[in-house]
């Protein structure tokens, strides 16, 4: 019976010795903090925080805040797109069950190789488009085309008015006269009937200078 008690006592001493012999790094702590940029001290949202050589970790929120359970002497890795990886080792001399950190992330410049985008998928299609593509006219060429005499004549013929149109135009003129009585009547430079009359008169040669007869 005494031997049995001695064995139990030795076993308890052995277990307590193992527990006591564990290093302080096995103690769990609440590790929390905020991730900020190094240049402007702005939060880095959704930063990945992981414990090295483990599958444990977390993700910071929109304001860069994070919190996770870790052990003393654990190596914490911080990673975010556009920033260099951050590394922090939790001190094994921490005396409290909570530890806070402000992790600063420096920007990381990523140089991408040059990419040239062509509108044609092959050289053959580019050659065909270059040789047979119709170059659009510039403003001067369009103005010259619109001012050709035959085009103006065709517009004058198309805009010739019959009796009913002349009657409507006369009534409209009379209505405008009474409507704007005592006021400044608007300029009728955009009046299509006025332009039609002008083109018709110009076509009939009414604007030609008359030769003076010398007596």
- Sign, CA torsion 72/74/78/84: positive
pLDDT at 209: 59
pLDDT at 170 over 60: yes
Residue pLDDT, tens place only, 107-148? 988 888 888 887 777 888 888 888 887 776 778 877 777 777
CATH of 27-105, one of 2.40.30.10, 2.60.40.1120, 2.60.120.380, 3.10.20.340: 2.60.40.1120
Query: For the chain, what are the domain ranges?
Result: 27-105, 139-181+190-203
- Mean pLDDT value across residues 66-89: 93
Q: What is the 3-state secondary structure (H, E, C) of 138-200?
A: CHHHHHHHHCCHHHHHHHHHHCCCCHHHHHHHHHHHHHHHHHCCCCCCCCCCCCHHHHHHHHH
**Rounded percentage of the chain residues whose pLDDT exceeds 70:** 71
Does the pTM exceed 0.85? no
21 band by pLDDT with thresholds 50, 70 and 90? very low
């Amino acid at each position: 019976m005494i031997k049995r008690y001695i064995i139990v006592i030795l076993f308890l001493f052995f277990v307590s010795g193992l527990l006591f012999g564990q290093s302080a790094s096995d103690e769990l702590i609440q590790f929390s903090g905020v991730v900020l940029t190094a240049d402007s001290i702005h939060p880095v949202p959704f930063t990945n925080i992981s414990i090295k050589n483990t599958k444990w970790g977390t993700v910071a929120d929109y304001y860069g805040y994070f919190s996770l359970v870790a052990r003393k002497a654990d190596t914490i890795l911080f990673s975010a797109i556009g920033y260099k990886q951050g590394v922090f080792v939790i001190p094994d001399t921490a005396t409290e069950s909570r530890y806070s950190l402000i992790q600063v992330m420096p920007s990381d410049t990523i140089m991408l190789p040059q990419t040239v985008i062509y509108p044609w998928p092959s050289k053959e299609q580019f050659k065909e488009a270059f040789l047979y593509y119709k170059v659009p006219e510039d403003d001067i060429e369009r103005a010259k085309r619109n001012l050709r005499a035959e085009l103006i004549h065709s517009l004058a013929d198309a805009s010739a008015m019959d009796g009913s149109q002349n009657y409507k135009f006369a009534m409209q003129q009379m209505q405008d006269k009474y409507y704007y009585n005592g006021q400044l009547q608007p300029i009728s430079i955009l009046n299509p009937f006025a332009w039609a009359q002008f083109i018709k008169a110009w076509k009939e040669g009414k604007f030609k200078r008359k030769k003076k007869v010398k007596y």
